[in-house]
Amino acid sequence: MSNRNSPLPDLTSAYRRLVGTPGEGKKKLNWRVWVLGVFGIVMMLSLTQQFAKLETSDLTSSGTWLIALAWSVPILMAGLGGIFSERVGIVNIGLEGMLVLGTFFGALGTLLYGPWWGMVIAAIAGAFGGLLLAVATVTFNVDHIIAGVAINIMAPGIARFMASIHFPERGGSITQSPTIVGVSTFNIPFLAGGSIGGWRSPDMLGAIEDWDWFFVSDLAGIMRGFSSGMSWLGLVAILIVPAATLLLWKTAFGLRLRSCGENPHAADSLGVNVYKYKYYGVTIGGALAGFGGGFLAVQLSGLYREGQTLSKGFIGLATMIFGNWRPVGTALGGLLFGFAETLRLRDPNAAHGLLLLVGLSLAILMLRALYKRKTRVAGWLGLATAGMLYWYLSTDSVPNQLPKITPFIAVLVMLIFATQRLRMPAADGMRYRKGEGG
Amino acid sequence: MGKKLMYVLAAPLIAIGVAMVVTSVVLLIAGADPLSAYSNMWEFGTRLETLIETLNRATPLYLSGIAVAIGFRMNLFNIGVEGQYILAAIIAAKVGAEINLPPVLHVTVIILTAMAVGAFWSGLAGFLKVSRNVHEVVSTIMLNAIAVAGITSYLLSIWDVPDESLDTALKSIPESGWMPSLNGWVEVFTRDIKRVELWGFILVAIAVGIAYHVLINRTRIGFDLRASGENASAAEASGTDPKRMIITAMVIGGAVAGLVGLPELLGNSHAYNLRFTQQLGFAGIAVALLGRNHAVGVAIGALVFGWLDRASGVLEVRGDAPREIVAIMQGVIILAAVVAYAVVERKRRAEEASAAAAATAAAIPIAQVGDDEGGAS
Amino acid sequence: MASAVVLEGITKRFPGVIANDGVNLDVADGEIHAICGENGAGKSTLMKILYGMQPADEGRMLIHGEEVKFASPKEAIALGIGMVHQHFMLADNLSVLENVVLGAEPTKWGAINFPEARTRILAIGETYGLKVGTRDLVETLEIGERQRLEIIKVLFRGARILILDEPTAVLVPQEVEELFRNMRELKAQGHTIIFIDHKLDEVLEIADTITVIRAGKTIDTVKPEDVTARDLAELMVGSELPTPETRESTVTDHVVIEAIDATANDDAGSPKLRGVSLKVHKGEILGIAGVEGNGQAELVEAIIGMRPLTGGVISLEGERMKGWGVRKRREAGIGYIPEDRTKRGLLSGFPLWENAMLGHQSMEPYVKNAFWIQSDDAREQTKTVVEQFDVRTPGVEVAAHALSGGNQQKLIVGKEMSADLVALIAAHPTRGIDVGAQAAVWEELRHARAAGLAVILISADLEELIGLSDRLVVILRGDLVAELDPASVTPRDLGSYMTGASVQERST
């Protein structure tokens, strides 16, 4: 892939190095890229924090990042659901609907049997949505997007109807469940002061965060965000990321799943039951999305509310593309959106500070373009940087709608500039009939 | 001919049948009596006032369905009608309120504004697809969110006119910019209509439907569009510019999408407010699917969905079931319809192929199964 | 010798057609058995049945004397049968190793045992002289390497009976020799090979036994030493062979299409045409020979206007076509028979009359004022095409997918030729159609030439090229490397120019 005219850093190949080439040809992780990238990002956040101190104190605080991590879970799960579905070649626009099913059934299950069973029921409900999509697209060959849209129309209908039966009599309403309680949370001992058998260990990262040193405390804050206040369900979600990677790239099952999305006729000619694996992939994908929906209702919101998914299924889909159809990349994308969402919830003023962050990023990209002698690109980036800085300096706040739509703008910008580097499964979205073609 | 009609009707009838069965089962599980529910719905739904409301509901659904169908005809999935019409409605409402023109001209300006805004927002997705290869499904989803949660919400907050009603709403459009009610015409044939007005915009919707049909089936642009949808690379080899077709389809679709909010705006609310009807864009996708992108089919789809929406109100009043049962019914209709269409289409194609083979078998001695095509493809 | 495979009375019907009609086949253990037949004779269908991809409607199959019935390739694989398909069955974005082990993965603790798989693949490579890098992504492999990979896939599953479906179709003569070496090696190791082909010299060279299939029936089984190519050909076709020869020259010195130093890129942006200069005259067929992927597709697309030139000029009747879209070029009289009719030439769900309109939708009689479709006139015009070009169809309202490949192709050729043309680009005009349709298409190309059209013919069928062309040029890596006289050139010579084994001093 050439990187002509692209003003974005080479994210995808950075991911490639991060994730390695798929399968057995896996190269060693390039730790330098990894570490450099993380430090770069933290440094930028640090700088912004420094300049915009009066407006926000939250860009690098552990509180922000623990919430960001939690709020990234539904998006991440939707994205992983998308990966499983699209890796077997089924485009899954119905993730939003599966998420909705997850929120409702997660809440209902929690009311009836407690949060753990609630999450199981949420995953089953999502899997049911996936199964429905598989029946339509695999068995009946319906266009994938049409089938997904149908699920997105139907899922809220089911949720609403069932809610109107179940929730009013339990102290909720047609559009809302009574409050529910999720599972408990924990801190990691020593790092974030978690307790071992009743003994409270020292909170090392917390202490460093309190020093309030430039960069060092910021880094500690972010790391503490990842090691404290985590729910056990969140831990399950995070562990699913490496598990999915291993499953897809290291096992026979995973290879067969992926082969259905790359060249189903080849798989079929080798005796792989393509229909079966497509069903597996889409159903697993649905279960993951259902889990994500359940997490949103049970753990994050403490209730089911109609429309609470707020397009997280679609954002998940976008995150999957952002992550180039790979779990780790998708997880990073999910974290980004979780972060944006958190700032909106916690600290609306931070959005104004973020203008500075965007301005700084643009400036760095401009320098990079200059270094690569792409003057035209650099010119545009310079203009954008100036505009962003002018916006930052000439105003005290941004419309409160802006943070809400930031993730969507981010995805759009990402797609506009990085489409050429993305590689979707070769047979993604295509209808497949056994025996046809080849 | 009779067979052809059967193929056309089979799928929607199967879909509605399946939907009724599923709905009945759900109602039974919920402890309601499906028969009583259906008969109540039928009785309430056949009243003149309900039928007028059905038409009022079907008008924007139809426009939305046509807007989606234009894209579908060339395999473009314009999921963005939602954002396009809401953005168009608020800007058209603002323009309509700020200007003062003679009646017909005033309405015309509002309509053209809405179409322009819709076309622009939809064209943006087309432009991104053409220039940066961004899939329209993803881009229109993002543009929806930006239009509804971002721009429209922002515009509503800055254009809000503080008044005694405490309602978050824009200034009202003066009466010269309203669309007259058609009740007078209907009453010629029926009795007096109580409480409801038949929105005049239905005439525009009918005109749009006719224009759509003629454009798609009788003109070169329509052929280019359909050909691109059937086989994009063949269409390109035939001389259609794929990029231009994408932009054209998105712009025309967006222009029609811009109209979706106007029946309500010009016929009833006369101002954009917080309660302005949403979700019509997604419903339009359903209606277009049900009607197979055909001008008349989409109309039937819009009427069916509109009627279900309006007639279901009685369910709660009579205590049969929550009216949300209709949402399930609509969802099942869509899913069953797309599956049924796929099955019927496959059967029709197989029959056509064997009919053609039989008709020519006398002339061709050799079995013409392409060696490299693997048979019954 | 015992029989490895016996097929008795295999019959397979598809809606409206019979692909196999009581086929019998007896393949001895350890031999190379060729199955010959022209396109559409039912060879591939038969092999798909033997490999379990499609069930037979009637008949028996015996593998090493045991009667079998396969529900899926898996069962065929388990009995040691492997198939290399005509179109490679490879996933581009998976590694060589992943492609090989798919469906037969050696596992350890539930995970794929990569070291073991690699060892086994390398061992196969050693034994049979089939070398590939296991870590490479398949998309980086050349055609020959892909074919080796396909054979390795089959051997990895322990196949003793190999089915090769037209393995030479995509290869140039030099690669064919490499393949034959591999096949002889396999035979020496005791494998049985069933080999589908319709290139008779190849069949006579490599096969131990030859079975000829025609119209879904077994015609005869012969030994290569007992027959000549001519005998085989007559068995295949059942009558006198049609030959693609043109009659006396109609070439004029009036240049219709001229390219000067034309350069163009492929979709990925790398140069694919590197300064092609050519002239096509009124009344001339210019044949372009070349191994697929050497720029001929890009050249065609550049002439018809689907691919922008990055340099140079292409002109029609002396007028530069820079900035002209496809439509304008078609209106100016360039006809186009696309390489892949289902991909570029047909709207399969649309009726024939709308298909005839395709490419002429801005022209009379199909459309008035370049805007209003004249459906009655279009139907009439299509009926004329159908009659004149012998398209076998119940009517013009039938959807295109319902027609056989040959009739689809006749419709495409017919609707192009019935327009008012000055030039015609024919890319693989007889690919994948039956012999009757092939003869008809050749006849039409001769008519076109006689009618004073400038014709550019691209084909992988070297005999077709030599037989029809007035002049032949060879394209290699985006450059015209040789100009040859079809009257004196042999397919073998042509092949060596195509691969760059022979080089010609350029006269211009």
* 3-state helix/strand/coil string of A257-305: HHHHHHCHHHHHHCCCCHHHHHHHHHHHHHHHHHHHHHHHHHHHHCCCE
CB contact under 8 A, A404 and B150: yes
pTM recorded for the entire structure: 0.83
Tens digit of pLDDT at every position of chain A (438 positions)? 333 333 333 333 333 333 333 433 344 456 677 777 777 777 777 777 777 665 556 777 787 888 889 999 999 999 999 999 999 999 998 999 999 999 999 999 999 999 999 999 999 999 999 999 999 999 988 888 888 888 988 898 889 888 888 898 888 888 889 989 888 888 877 777 777 777 777 777 777 877 777 777 888 888 888 888 788 899 999 999 999 999 999 999 999 999 999 999 999 888 889 999 999 999 999 999 999 999 999 999 999 998 898 888 988 988 888 788 899 889 988 888 888 778 777 776 677 777 888 888 888 888 888 888 888 888 888 898 899 888 888 887 778 778 778 778 877 887 787 655 677 888 887 878 776 644
Say if the Cβ atoms of C97 and A24 lie within 8 Å: yes
Question: With an 8 Å Cβ cutoff, is C39 touching chain B?
Answer: yes
Residues of B in contact with C44 (CB under 8 A): 371-372, 374
* Window C:409-448, CB contacts with B under 8 Å: 432, 434, 436
Nearest CA in chain B to A321: B138
Cβ-Cβ pairs closer than 8 A, B with C, add up to 182
Residues of B in contact with C45 (CB under 8 A): 369, 371, 374-375
As a whole number of angstroms, the distance between CA C121 and CA C164 comes to 20
Q: Do B376 and C362 touch (CB under 8 A)?
A: no
- Please give the structure tokens belonging to residue C492: 């073998």
β-strand pairing of C209-214 with C32-36: parallel
Centre a 10 Å sphere on the Cβ of residue C360 and count the other Cβ atoms it contains: 24
* pLDDT value, residue C404: 79
B343: Cβ contacts below 8 Å, ≥ 6 apart: A140, B11
H-type alpha helices, C359-427? 375-388, 405-417
Task: Choose among C54, C87, C402: nearest Cβ to B375.
Answer: C54
Write out residues 413-432 of A within 8 Å (CB-CB) of B.
415-417, 419-420
Which residue, among B81, B86, B87, B138, would best test binding to A if mutated, counting the most A CBs under 10 Å from its CB? B138
B351 has a pLDDT exceeding 90: no
Percent of chain B with pLDDT over 90: 42
Q: Does residue B228 register a pLDDT over 50?
A: yes
Mean pLDDT per segment of 10 residues, for chain C of length 508 residues? Answer: 84 76 89 81 84 88 88 87 86 90 86 90 85 83 84 89 84 80 89 84 87 84 84 69 64 90 85 91 91 85 92 91 90 90 88 91 84 89 89 86 84 89 91 77 88 91 86 90 87 77 61
Chain C hits for A426, CB-CB cut-off 8 Å, are 91-93
Query: Looking at CA atoms only, how far is residue C339 from chain B in angstroms?
Result: 11
Residue in this structure with the two tokens 């509310």, named with its chain if needed? A305
Please tell me if residue A379 touches chain B, with a CB cutoff of 8 Å: no
Q: Tell me the per-residue pLDDT of B4-25, one tens digit each, with 9 for 90 and over.
A: 777 778 888 888 889 889 889 9
Contacts of B280 in chain A (CB under 8 A): none
Contact A321 B324 (CB under 8 A): no
Say if the Cβ atoms of A93 and B137 lie within 8 Å: yes
Answer for the pair C475, C296: CB distance below 8 angstroms, yes or no: yes
pLDDT on residue B370: 39
Whether B334 has its CB under 8 Å from any CB of chain A: the answer is yes
Subunits with 3+ Cβ pairs within 8 Å of C are A, B
Rounded Cα–Cα distance for residues A151 and B36 (Å): 28
- Check: CB of residue B304 under 8 Å from CB of residue B348: no
Tokens of A423: 């590689």
**Could you tell me the pLDDT band of residue B358, with boundaries at 50, 70 and 90?**
confident
CA–CA distance from A352 to each of A48, A334, A356, A402, C339 (Å)?
11, 22, 7, 10, 57
Q: Are A241 and A76 in contact (CB under 8 A)?
A: yes
* Residue B244: alpha-carbon gap to chain centroid: 24
Is residue A397 within 8 Å of A352, Cβ to Cβ? Answer: yes
Identify the pLDDT of residue B177. Answer: 86
Closest CA to B367 of C358, A325, C427, C22: C22
Which residues of B are less than 8 Å from A321 in CB distance? 138
C454-458/C423-427 β-pairing: parallel
pLDDT of residue C229: 75
Nearest to A233 by CA among A291, A162, A277, A160: A291
B119 and A CB contact within 8 Å: no
The pLDDT, as a whole number, for residue A50 is 73
Number of neighbouring beta carbons within 10 Å of residue A380: 15
Contact A401 B377 (CB under 8 A): no
CB within 8 Å: C85 and A269: yes
Count of other CB atoms within 10 angstroms of residue A2 = 10
pLDDT digits (tens, 9 = 90+) for A96-124: 999 999 999 999 999 999 999 999 999 99
Of C85, C112, C117, the CB nearest to A438: C85
With a CB cutoff of 8 Å and minimum separation 6, the contacts of B122 are B78, B80, B81, B84, B140, B250, B251, B253, B254, B255, B257
Residue A438 confidence (pLDDT):
40
Q: For residue B258, give how far its alpha carbon lies from the nearest alpha carbon of chain C (Å).
A: 26
Higher pLDDT, residue B143 or C215: B143
Write down the pLDDT at residue B215. Answer: 94
Tell me which residue in C54, C85, C94 faces A262 most closely, judged by beta carbons: C94
The predicted structure's pLDDT at residue A6: 36
**Subunit contact C137:A21, Cβ cutoff 8 A:** yes
Q: Which chain B residue has its CA at the smallest distance from C237's CA?
A: B366
Burial class, C67, CB count within 10 angstroms (exposed 0-12 / middle 13-18 / buried 19+): exposed
Beta bridge partners of B360: none
Mean pLDDT in residue range B231-254 = 92
ipTM of the complex: 0.83
Residue of chain C whose Cα is closest to the Cα of B358: C16
DSSP 8-class letter at C140:
G
CA distance A146 to A127: 19
The verdict on a CB contact (< 8 Å) between B372 and C372 is no
Euclidean distance between CA atoms B130 and B153, whole angstroms: 29
Task: Please give the share of chain B, as a percent, with pLDDT higher than 70.
Answer: 93
**CB atoms near residue A23 (< 10 Å):** 21
Of all residues in chain B, the one with the smallest CA distance to A265 is B374
Q: Using an 8 Å CB-CB cutoff, list chain A residues near C72.
A: 271, 273
User: How far is B295 from chain C, CA to nearest CA, in Å?
Assistant: 18
Quote the CA–CA distance of B265 and B173 in Å, as a whole number.
Answer: 9
**C311-316/A195-196 β-pairing:** unpaired
Chain A's closest residue to B32, CA to CA, is: A165
Sign of CA dihedral C118, C120, C123, C127: negative
Amino acid at position B22, single letter? V
Q: How far is CA A227 from CA A21, A185, A193, B339, in A?
A: 29, 11, 9, 48
pLDDT single digits (tens) B194-213: 888 899 999 999 999 999 99
Q: Is A375 exposed, middle or buried (0-12, 13-18, 19+ CB in 10 A)?
A: exposed
Residues of B in contact with C325 (CB under 8 A): 239, 241
Q: Which pLDDT band, with edges at 50, 70 and 90, does B368 fall under?
A: very low
A359–chain B nearest CA distance, Å: 21
Alpha-helical regions (H) of C129-241: 143-156, 173-188, 200-206, 229-237
Q: How far is CA A119 from CA A66, A123, A284, A312, C402, in A?
A: 21, 6, 15, 18, 51
Asked if B237 lies within 8 A of C326 by C-beta distance, the reply is yes
